[in-house]
Structure 1
Amino acid sequence: MKLVNTSVKRPVGVIMIVLAIIALGTVSLRNLNVDLFPKIDLPIAVVATSYEDAAPQEVENLISRPIESSVSSVEGIQTVQSQSQSGSSLVVMMFNNGTDLDQALLNVRESVDQVKGMLPDEAGEPSIMRFSPDQLPVMWVGLTGDQASELTKVADDQIVPFFERQSGVASVTVEGAKEREIQIVLDQSKMQQYGVTAQTITQALNSSNQSASVGDVEKGNKDLQLRVTGEFESVDDIRETIVQTESGGTIHVDELAEVNDTYKKSSGETLVNGESAVVLSIMKKTDANTVEVANNINDSMEELEGELPSDVQSDVIIDTSEYIKMSISSVVQNILIGGIISFLILLLFLKSLRATIVIGLSIPIAIISTFTLMYFTGETLNVLTLGGLALGLGMMVDSSIVILEHIYTYRQRGYSLMESAIKGASELAPAVIASTTTTLVVFLPMVFVEGIASDMFTPLALAVSFSLIASLIVAVTLVPMLSSKLLAKATQESGRRYWFNRVLDRVNNGYRSVLKWVLGHRKTTVFGTLAVIAGSLALTPMIGASFIPSSDQGQLQITVETAPGSSLAHTQDVTEQVSRELEAYDDLLETSYLNVGGSGGGGAPMASSGNQATYMLQLIPASERTKNTDDVVESISDDLSAVPGAEISVTATNSAAGTGDPVQISLKGPEHEVLRELADEVTGTISEVNGVHNATSSAEEGVPQMSINVNSEKAAMYGLTEQQIVSQIQLQFTGQTAAQYREEGDEMNVTLMYPEEERRTISDVENMSIQSESGAAVPLSSLVTLKEVQGPVTLQRENQQPQVNVTSEILDRDLGSVMSDVKQKLNHMSMPEGYSYEIGGQAQDMADSFRDLSIALVFSIFLVYAVMAVQFENFLFPFIIMFSLPATVVGVLGGLFITGLPLSIPAFIGVIMLAGIVVNNSIVLVDYINIVRREGKDRYQAILEAGPSRLRPILMTTLTTILAMVPLGLALGEGAEMQQPLAVTIIFGLTISSIFTLLLIPVVYTLFDDLTAKITRRRKKAE
C-alpha cells in the first residue's frame, strides 16, 4: 500500500505528524467538558402557572384543562401530564425523540397564548420552559451562625452576588432565609372606637408613601424639575402615618396598631448537621463544566472566608463534582492498569522490549487522538467515554500485533528491515482494515436506537470507534516505520524466556491433540456445542434484568411525611425523633442537610407543605466504609420504621437513572376518587412482592379544610359582595400587603394583620365580624355556611384523563424479576369498567431499550457478515465464521451468572460489541486455512497446520483485550459499576468464544466443505 511505503521511507514526516497529534490532543483534553455521565437529551417542556388561594379542583378546571387542550395539538407531543394543587398548575409535555425542542417550545408558546385570555384574571402569567437534568444544583453550601436574620443578610448581600459572578454559575438559590417584613398588627377594639377600617389604613399608607414628578419651573437659564418626595424613610414614618377617622379627625397608625420591624413567619426550617442554617444551592449554566464550576466555587470560598463576619461559618454540604472526580480518577486508574497488563502480555509474547514499545505506542497515540476527535464532536469526558477507552484498550494493539507478526515473518525469511516493513505491512493492511471494520460496523445501528440508551452509550461507541480508527492508522503507518528502524536486534534469537516458549509449545501440542479429536468426532462436537448453548440459555431466568446499574454515590434522601394538615411544629417534633435514630450512623455520615416544610432543594416549581421534611445525607467515600449505599438504605429504613406518626421513605440518589422510579404504575380512569381507592389497593398489593421498597401512591390523603360557602342573598342585604367578604377573611387570617418600604436598596412588604391569638382556632372564624359599607359589624356566621371537609392535595391527569401513579424503589432484586411478579399481582386484580393501568418508569424504558438494542444487534450481525463477504469475495466463508457468534451466548450468560449481575443496557451493548470482536479470530483462522490449502495441502493437514500456527497471534490479541478489561470487570474504584456489566460480558464472551472458535470453526469448515463438494458432484452428474 502507498501509505505504508510513504510512512516507511519518510519517517521524519510521520514523527512530526504524531507530535502534532499529541499536541492537539493535549490541548483538546484541557478543554474537554468533564461530567459524570453524557448529557441526556430529554425532550420535555413545562408550563407552570400560579393561581393563588385556589383549591386543586379549581386549578384543574380553570387552568390545567384549558392549557392541556391547547398544547395537545402541538406536533411531536407524545404525552401531556398535568399536576393541579392548591395555588399552582404544572403541565408537562413529553415529545417524541428527535423532536426539535426549540421549535416545539415556540409552538407551545403560541398555543398557550391563544388560551391565555380564557384563564381567570387572578391567574399568574404562564411560564414556559424546557426541562433538563442540568437544572439540578451542582453544589450546596451551608451558612451557620447565631442569628438566622444575619445569615440571610450575609447570603443575599455578599455571598449570592459573589458566587453568581463566578465562571459557569447560572444562579444561586437561598433556602431557609428570613424575609424582613414590617408588620402592622391591628387592634380591633381601637379601630371600632375610632371608626377606622383596614381599607382606610391601607389607603392612608399608600397615599403617604408616594413620590411623583409634578412639573418644571424656570430658574435663570435652567429648568428645574419639581418632584414631591413622600416615600417612607424610616419605620417611624410608618408609625406616624396619619389616618382619617370616621368623624373627620386624625390619628396615627401606631395608635391603632402595633408596628413591628421583624421577619415574615417562616414556612419551614433548614438544618445542617443539626444546626440552624441558610443553604445556598448553586446551579451551573447548561454548557458549563460541572467540575470547573465546583472548583471555582471552592476557590472563591477561600477568598470569601476573610470577608465574612466572625460568627458566620460556611461549609460545603454536598459537592456533586467530588464523585465525578473520584469516578474519573478510578477509570483513569483502570486504564493505566489495563495498559500495563497489555504491555506485559506483549512483552511476554514478543520477548523484546523494542518490539513491545513499537506496538505499545499504539495505545497512548490512539487515546490522545481520541481526545481530539471527542472535542471536535462535542462529547464530554465522562465515566462512559473513558470507560470506552478502557474497554478498547486491548483492541487498540490488535492491528499492530498482526502487522508486526507479518513483518517478523519476512525478516526471518532474510529480507532487510526496510523490505520486511513495507512487504509485511502492505500485504496485511487490507485484512487488518477489514478486521477493524467488522468491529466498527456493529456501532452503526446504534444511530437508530432512541432514548436513554442512545444518549448514554452513543458517546461510548464513538470513543471506542475513534480509538480503533486511530490505532488502525498507527498500525499501517507508525508501526512499519518504527519496525524498519528499531527491530534489527529484536529479531535475533538470544535464548531468553525459553520457559515461555516451552509453555507455548505445550499449549500448541495440547491444542493439536484436541483439534484432532474434534475433527474425528464432528457430530459429537456440534451437538455438544448445542447442548452447552441450551444449558446456558436455561440460566436466563436466574440472571434477571435491570435498566442501568446504580452507582454507589453515597447520597441518600429521607422523606418524612406526617398526616395531611399537620403543623410545622408537629413535623419538627417527628424529625427530632428521626435525627436521634440517625445518630447511630454518625460514623458513616459526612454531612446531613434537613429541610422541614420547604421544597428541599429539588427545584420543582410546586408548593411545599408543612407536613413534609427532607433529609439529604452524604456518606463517606465508598472506599472508607464496609457497607454500600443500598445496605445503608435498608438498615436506616428498618430503624426508622419504628418512628410513629409519619410515613418515612429512604432512597439512594442515583443520577445515572434519570428516568424516574424503577417501578411506576399509572392508573387511569374518569373519577379521581375511584383512582385514589384503586391506588391504595395497588400499593398494598405490590408491597407484598419481594424486592419492592417504599411503594407509595401519588394520591395523597386529603388535607383537612374548612369550606366557607357565602350566601349571596344575605350578603347583598348588607351591601356586601362575595369578594369583599373573602378579602376581609383573608386579611384576618393571612394578612394583606398594604405598601412597600425601601431601605438601603432593599424592598420589603408592609403587611396588615391581626394578632395571632385572634386567628388561631375555629371559634375565631365563627366569631369573626364583617364590616359592611355603612360601617356596621355583621357576624360572619350569618353570611356563610361553614363545613369541615377533606380537600385533595394534588390532582393529576395524563392525556386529558385523570391519573394516579403508584411508584416504588427496588432492593436486593433485579428490576426484571420484580416487574414480572408485580405484573402477575396486577393481572389478578379486578379493575372497574373504564379504568386501566400502564407500566412506566425504568421498567418501561428498559423494555423499550432492550427492543431497540435487539434490532440493533440483528443489523450489526448482518453488517459484520456483509463486511466479511466483501473481504473474502465469497458468501460461504463468512457464513462459517459467523458460527463463532452463537457460542458467545455461553460466555455472556455464564459470566453474568457467575458474577451475579443482571442483564442490563451496558451488558447488551457488550453483546453488540462482541458481534464485531469475536469474528476477528475466526477470520484469521479461516483465512489461513484457505492459504495453506492453496499451497497444495489437503484439508485435514491444512487445518492441523493453520490452527496451531495461528494460535499465538489469537492468544496475544485475545489476552490483551480480555486482561485489559479485568480492572473494569472487577469494578475497582468509584463509578465503575456502570462499565462492569459491559466488561464482564466481553471478558467471558470473548474467552468462551475464542475456545469455540479454535475448536468448533474447523469442524463447521469441514462440514460445509463436504456439503459444497456433495452439491458440486451432483451438479456434475446432472450435467
Structure 2
Amino acid sequence: MKLVNTSVKRPVGVIMIVLAIIALGVISLRSLAVDLFPKIDLPIAVIATSYDDAAPQEVENLISRPIENAISSVEGVDTIQSQSQSGSSLVVMMFNNGVDLDQALLDVRERVDQVKGFLPQNAAEPNIMRFNPEQMPVMWVSITGKDASALTQIAEDQVVPYFERQGGVASVTVEGAKTREIQLILDEAKMQQYGLNPQAITQALNSQNQSSSVGTVERGDKDLQLRVTGTFDSIDDIGKTIIQTQNGATIHVEDVVEVHDTYKESNGLTLVNGSESIVLSIMKKTDGNTVDVASNIKDAMSELNGQLSEDVDLGVVIDTSEFIEMSIDSVVKNILLGGIMSLIILLLFLKSIRATIVIGASIPIAIISTFTLMYFTGETLNILTLGGLALGLGMMVDSSIVILENIYSYRQRGYSLKESAIKGASELTPAVIASTTTTLVVFLPIVFVQGIASDLFTPLALAVAFSLIASLVVALTLVPMLSSKLLSKAMENHGRRYWFNNLLERIGSGYARILKWTLKHRKTTVAATIITIVGSLALTPLIGAEFMPEADQGQMEISVETATGTSLSHTEDIVEKVNDRLTDYEDYIETNYVSVGSSGAMGPMGGGGGNQASYMIQLIPASDRDKTTTDIVQEIDQRLQGIPGAEITVSASDAGMGMGDPIQIQLNGPEHEVLSDLAEEVVSEIQAVNGVYNPTTAASEGVPQMNIEINNEKAAMYGLTQDQILGQISLQFTGQLATQYREEGHEMDVTLLYPEDQRSTISDLQDLKVTTPTGAVIPLEEVSDFQEMQGPVSLLRQNQQPQMNITSDVVDRDLASVVSDIEDRLASMSIPENYSYSLGGQAEDMTESFTDLALALVFSIFLVYAVMAIQFENFLFPFIIMFSLPATVVGVMGGLFVTGLPLSIPGFIGIIMLAGIVVNNSIVLVDYINILRRRGMDRFEAIIEAGKSRLRPILMTTLTTILAMIPLGLALGEGAEMQQPLAVTIIFGLSVSSIFTLVLIPVVYTLFDDLTGKIVRRKKKEA
C-alpha cells in the first residue's frame, strides 16, 4: 500500500528511478558476455603424460596403471578412465557433483608426486589440469603463400605473438608448420674407420656448444664477470667441431657426418579449400567471451594483412562465433516479434493506445532490469537465457493487466484518477505478489538438480525469475503512476460498440452454456477428462525422448582412415578422391579444412597417424541452403562409401556444448583381447537397429608392429644390457637429439640420423650393428628374436579395469527409442562371465538429467501448493486449484506429438515451469467464486458469474503468454531449435490447461464443496 501510494504521489521520483534503471541496464547489456550456451561446470581432472616411442602396452603398464593406483583413493572420485596409446597416456578423473575441484586437484598432485619417481626415466613429467569443455579452439585462421617455411617463420615471429596479445586469447597453436632442423647424417663406414660411435659425436658437440659464467675478477674498483662463450655461431661451426678419436687423432664432425640445414620430417599435411596452408587455432581464456575474442582476432587480421607482404594472406577458416551471433540475433528477433504480438492482444482487449502503453512499458523496463541482475550474478547472454526472457515476456504483463483492470473498475465507480490508482493497485497487491510467487517457487528445487541439467536450467530460471520480479515491481509502482496521469479518457466507449467486445460477449455466452452443462453432468465431465489424460499418456512411446535438440550449426566432420600402417602419400591420394567427390557440394560448402596425418590438432588428443585424415567443413548458413546439415551429411556419406581402400565416416559436429556421442556402449572385463572380439560382435548386432548411424569401435584397429624380444642370456655374454640395445635401435630408426643451435633468436634441434636407406626396411633392422662395451660390432639378430604382429592403437581402462567403447550417432529417430532397442539387442547376446556392458554418452546424461528434473518437478508442485495454502489460509482450495495440473499433460503430449518433437531437457524444463503458470488462472477463478459466495450469491450462480467475469483476464493473460512464445515455437532463425521444445510445451500445455481450468475446475469445486458439506453435516449429527 505504501509503495503504491508513494509511486502515485511522487511521479517525478518514479520516472527518475526508471531512467536510472534503464541507463544501468544499457551499461550492463554492453558488458554482458555473449555465448551459445551457459557455462557447463564439469568436475573433471586430466593427467597427461608422454613416453616417447613406447607401445600402448608399455604405456599402460608403466605409466597409466601406476597413476590409476595412486589416485584411486582420492576423495570424491566417481570414475577413473585412462587411454594408453603409442607415446602418451591420458588419465581422466570424473568427480562427484559438489566436489571442490580445487582441493581435489591438490590431492591428486600429492598422489602423483608420490608415484612419479617410479615412472620410466624418459617419461615426461605428468601434467595435471582441470578439464574445461570450452577448451576447444574458437577460431581457425589460415596463412597462405608460396613458401611454407617462410610462412612458418611469419606465423611464429609475427602472427602468433600478435594474436596472443589480443583480449581474451589464451593461446595460439600452429598447425601444418615446417620446423627447421640441423640434421647430421652419420656415415657408418667412416665412423668405423675412425673408431667412433654416435655417443662420442654427441659428447663433442655438447662440450663445444656451451657458454657459462666461471667467476669474477677485480679491475680497479669494479668486479668483472668472467664468461666463457663457446656456442655455435654458424652451421659451419657445427661441422668444424673437433673430435678426439680413440687413437688420439683429431678430426672434425664433418669428416664422419653430412650436415644438412633442412626441416623435420613431416608426417602430415594441412589443406584449406584444397591449398596447402598453415592454420592457427585460437583458444580463449576460461573467462573469455567467444564473440569478443573472434572480433578481436578479426581486427588483428585486418591490421596484419596491411603489414605482411602481398603474397601472404590471412583468412578465417572456421569461426564458431558466427553461429553464436546468428543464434542470438534470431532469439532477439523472436523476442521482438513476440512482444509485438502481445501488445496487439493488449490493444484488442483494452481498446486504448494509452492503456496499452501503460502496460507495455513494463516489458522493456523488466527486460532491461533483468540484464542488470544477470550482469551482477555473472550470467551470460545465450540462447537459453534469452529464451527465458522470451518465455517471461508474455508473463511480464500479467500483473500489470490485473492491476490496470482493477484501477479501471474504481474509475468506473466515480473515483478520481489518483484515488483509483491508489485503491485499485493497493487492493490487489497481495494477490499479485502471491500469483507471481507461485510462478517463482517452481525454480527453487533447482538446488536438488545437479550436473548438466542444473548448468542449463539455472541461467534460464534466473532470467525468468529476474524478469518476473522486475515486472512485479513495475506493476506496483510504474503502472499506478502512469494510470493516474494517462487514463483520463482511456477505455471510453462514447456510445459506440466495439467489435472485439461483441466477439468476447459471444464467447462468454457460449462459455456460460458449456459451464452450465458441465455442472449438470459432473461425472461425465470428470470421466471425459480422465480418459483424455490417459489417452495423451498413451502417446508417450510415439513421442520418444532425447537429451538436447540438435541445432543446425552447419558444421560437419569427415574421418578418413586407411589400413593401419599405410604411408602418408597413399592417404593423400585417398584425400584427393574425397575432394573430387565433394566438388558436387561446393554450393553448400563455405570452408573445407583437412588435416592429413598428424599435422593438425583438431581435437584434444591431436591428430592421428599417417593413415588418417580429418576434415572440418563449414557449410553456408542454414537460411541460405535448402538442405539441413543432417541431409547433406547422409548424402556425402553415401557418395564417399564407394572409395576403396579407406574407412570413411561423415558426421555433423557440435560446435557448442560438445556433449559427446549420442550412443556409447562401454564394455568392461579383464582382458583387452576378449573385449575386442566382443566389441566386434556388438557392432554387428546394433547395426540392424533402426536409427543407429555409423557405429564404430577401436577393436578393428591395429598397428602392424615388429616385436623385438631380446635374449638377455646372449646379451650378457657380450656385456650388453637391454637398455643399451634399445638405445642403439632407437638411434638407428628415430635419431638422437645431439644439441641445440641458436640463430637470430630461434632455437633448433641438431639431430643425429642414419641415412634413410639404412632405416626403412625390416632387413635394415635385422642387419643393425650393435656395438659392445669392448668395441666389437655384432648384428642385432645375434642377441634378439623378431616377431611380426598386430598391436593395438590404444588401450582403454575404466576404474582400473580394461574397457572397450562402441560409439554411434542417431539419425531419423529419437534417442530413447534407439537406446531401448539397443538394450534389447544387448540383453539377447551371450556375454562371457566377468564381462559387462553399460551405456554412456548422451543416453546416460539423458537418464540422469530426467531423473533429477522429475525430482525437481515433484518439489515444485509441492511448493506451489504450499504458497497457495498460505495465500488462501485453507488446505482445500489449493487442492482444488491443483487439478489444473493433470490437464497440462494433455497439452504437452499433444503438442510434442503434433510438432514431431521428442521430450528433451528444454521440454522437461517447460513442464516444470507450467506447474507454476497454469495455476494462476485457477487462482483467479476460485478466488472470485469465493468472493461472490461471501456476498450471499448462490453457489451455481456464483460459479457462472465468476466464469463470465474472469474469462476476459484469463484470456488476456493466457494469450499474451502464448503469442509471445509462438516465434520460438516455430523455431524461426539459427539455433532456435534449442528453445523450440520449451516453447511448444508452454504453448500447448497452457492452452489446453486454460480450457480445462475454465470447465473442469468449477466442477471439481462443486464436488469438493459437496464433500465438505456432507462431512460438516455428519459432524453436526454426531454432536
Secondary structure at the residue paired with 1:616?
strand
Q: Is the 8 A contact 1:204 1:243 kept in 2?
A: yes
Q: Is the 8 A contact 1:88 1:607 kept in 2?
A: no
1:373-384 correspondence to structure 2 within 5 Å: 373-384=373-384
Secondary structure at the residue paired with 2:561?
strand
CA distance in 2: counterparts of 1:127 and 1:523, whole angstroms: 70
* Offset of residue 607 of structure 1: 7.0
1:260-659 correspondence to structure 2 within 5 Å: 260-494=260-494, 498-598=498-598, 600-605=600-605, 608-659=608-659
2:21 maps to which residue? 21
CA distance in 2: counterparts of 1:714 and 1:94, whole angstroms: 47
CA distance in 1: counterparts of 2:113 and 2:198, whole angstroms: 38
Measured at CA, do residues 656 and 154 of structure 1 come closer, stay the same or move farther in structure 2, by a change above 3 Å? Answer: closer
* Offset of residue 731 of structure 1: 1.5
| Range with greater deviation from structure 2 (113-122 or 284-293) | 113-122
CA distance in 2: counterparts of 1:216 and 1:367, whole angstroms: 72
* Offset of residue 912 of structure 1: 0.5
Measured at CA, do residues 219 and 1021 of structure 1 come closer, stay the same or move farther in structure 2, by a change above 3 Å? Answer: closer
CA distance in 2: counterparts of 1:186 and 1:213, whole angstroms: 33
CA distance in 1: counterparts of 2:432 and 2:222, whole angstroms: 89
Moved over 6 A (4+): none
Letter in 2 for 1:461: A
CA distance in 2: counterparts of 1:585 and 1:603, whole angstroms: 25
Measured at CA, do residues 146 and 606 of structure 1 come closer, stay the same or move farther in structure 2, by a change above 3 Å? Answer: closer
2:794 pairs with 1:766: no
Letter in 1 for 2:763: S
1:888-933 per-residue CA deviation (whole Å, 9 max, x = no partner) reads 1110000000000001110010001101101111111111111111
1:413-440 per-residue CA deviation (whole Å, 9 max, x = no partner) reads 1111111111111111111111111100
1:627-648 per-residue CA deviation (whole Å, 9 max, x = no partner) reads 1111111111111111222222
Query: Structure 2 regions of 5+ residues with no counterpart?
Result: none
Q: Is the 8 A contact 2:179 2:263 kept in 1?
A: yes
Letter in 1 for 2:540: T
CA distance in 2: counterparts of 1:220 and 1:882, whole angstroms: 98
| Range with greater deviation from structure 2 (705-714 or 795-804) | 705-714
1:818-833 correspondence to structure 2 within 5 Å: 818-833=818-833
1:237 maps to which residue? 237
Q: Is the 8 A contact 2:363 2:396 kept in 1?
A: yes
Letter in 1 for 2:368: I
Q: Is the 8 A contact 1:212 1:228 kept in 2?
A: yes
Q: Is the 8 A contact 1:815 1:843 kept in 2?
A: yes
Secondary structure at the residue paired with 2:918?
helix
* Offset of residue 780 of structure 1: 1.7
Secondary structure at the residue paired with 2:34?
coil
1:845 maps to which residue? 845
2:707 maps to which residue? 707
* Offset of residue 599 of structure 1: 6.5
Letter in 2 for 1:853: L
* Offset of residue 606 of structure 1: 6.3
CA distance in 1: counterparts of 2:915 and 2:113, whole angstroms: 52
Secondary structure at the residue paired with 1:926?
helix
1:91-170 correspondence to structure 2 within 5 Å: 91-170=91-170
Q: Is the 8 A contact 1:552 1:974 kept in 2?
A: yes
Measured at CA, do residues 247 and 496 of structure 1 come closer, stay the same or move farther in structure 2, by a change above 3 Å? Answer: farther
* Offset of residue 145 of structure 1: 1.3
1:373-392 per-residue CA deviation (whole Å, 9 max, x = no partner) reads 10111111111101100111
1:250-261 correspondence to structure 2 within 5 Å: 250-261=250-261
CA distance in 2: counterparts of 1:237 and 1:705, whole angstroms: 40
Letter in 2 for 1:528: A
CA distance in 1: counterparts of 2:725 and 2:282, whole angstroms: 43
2:1015 pairs with 1:1011: no
2:745 maps to which residue? 745
CA distance in 2: counterparts of 1:582 and 1:353, whole angstroms: 57
CA distance in 2: counterparts of 1:893 and 1:9, whole angstroms: 50
1:7 maps to which residue? 7
1:469-514 per-residue CA deviation (whole Å, 9 max, x = no partner) reads 1000111111011101110010422356721111111111111111
Q: Is the 8 A contact 1:700 1:793 kept in 2?
A: no
Letter in 2 for 1:213: S
Measured at CA, do residues 677 and 930 of structure 1 come closer, stay the same or move farther in structure 2, by a change above 3 Å? Answer: same
Q: Is the 8 A contact 1:550 1:656 kept in 2?
A: no
Letter in 1 for 2:322: E
Q: Is the 8 A contact 1:181 1:264 kept in 2?
A: yes
Letter in 2 for 1:154: I
1:878-897 correspondence to structure 2 within 5 Å: 878-897=878-897
Letter in 1 for 2:647: E
Q: Is the 8 A contact 1:48 1:605 kept in 2?
A: no
2:185 pairs with 1:190: no
Measured at CA, do residues 560 and 226 of structure 1 come closer, stay the same or move farther in structure 2, by a change above 3 Å? Answer: same
Q: Is the 8 A contact 1:551 1:656 kept in 2?
A: no
Q: Is the 8 A contact 1:174 1:278 kept in 2?
A: yes
The total of aligned residue pairs comes to 1023
2:724 maps to which residue? 724
1:995-1006 correspondence to structure 2 within 5 Å: 995-1006=995-1006
Secondary structure at the residue paired with 2:134?
helix
Measured at CA, do residues 375 and 239 of structure 1 come closer, stay the same or move farther in structure 2, by a change above 3 Å? Answer: same
1:591-617 per-residue CA deviation (whole Å, 9 max, x = no partner) reads 011111127433424673222211000
* Offset of residue 56 of structure 1: 1.5
Secondary structure at the residue paired with 2:664?
strand
CA distance in 2: counterparts of 1:736 and 1:265, whole angstroms: 14
Query: Structure 1 regions of 5+ residues with no counterpart?
Result: none
Secondary structure at the residue paired with 2:566?
coil
CA distance in 1: counterparts of 2:496 and 2:646, whole angstroms: 74
Letter in 1 for 2:192: Q
CA distance in 2: counterparts of 1:675 and 1:23, whole angstroms: 63
Letter in 2 for 1:923: I
2:744 pairs with 1:735: no
Letter in 2 for 1:643: I
Q: Is the 8 A contact 2:320 2:655 kept in 1?
A: no
Letter in 2 for 1:80: I
CA distance in 2: counterparts of 1:390 and 1:963, whole angstroms: 10
Q: Is the 8 A contact 2:239 2:253 kept in 1?
A: yes
2:72 pairs with 1:60: no
Q: Is the 8 A contact 2:351 2:491 kept in 1?
A: no
Identity, % of aligned positions: 72
Measured at CA, do residues 882 and 381 of structure 1 come closer, stay the same or move farther in structure 2, by a change above 3 Å? Answer: same
1:965-986 per-residue CA deviation (whole Å, 9 max, x = no partner) reads 0000000011111110000000
1:867 maps to which residue? 867
Measured at CA, do residues 588 and 495 of structure 1 come closer, stay the same or move farther in structure 2, by a change above 3 Å? Answer: farther
1:48 maps to which residue? 48
Letter in 1 for 2:1003: V
What is the root-mean-square deviation in Å for CA atoms of aligned residues? Answer: 1.4
1:281-321 per-residue CA deviation (whole Å, 9 max, x = no partner) reads 00111111111111111011111101112211111111111
Give TM-score, length-normalised by structure 1: 0.98
CA distance in 2: counterparts of 1:104 and 1:986, whole angstroms: 41
1:549-569 per-residue CA deviation (whole Å, 9 max, x = no partner) reads 111110111111222222222
CA distance in 1: counterparts of 2:948 and 2:514, whole angstroms: 11
Q: Is the 8 A contact 1:81 1:796 kept in 2?
A: yes
Measured at CA, do residues 655 and 591 of structure 1 come closer, stay the same or move farther in structure 2, by a change above 3 Å? Answer: closer
CA distance in 2: counterparts of 1:566 and 1:704, whole angstroms: 10
* Offset of residue 122 of structure 1: 2.0
* Offset of residue 243 of structure 1: 2.6
Measured at CA, do residues 181 and 418 of structure 1 come closer, stay the same or move farther in structure 2, by a change above 3 Å? Answer: same
| Range with greater deviation from structure 2 (972-981 or 60-69) | 60-69
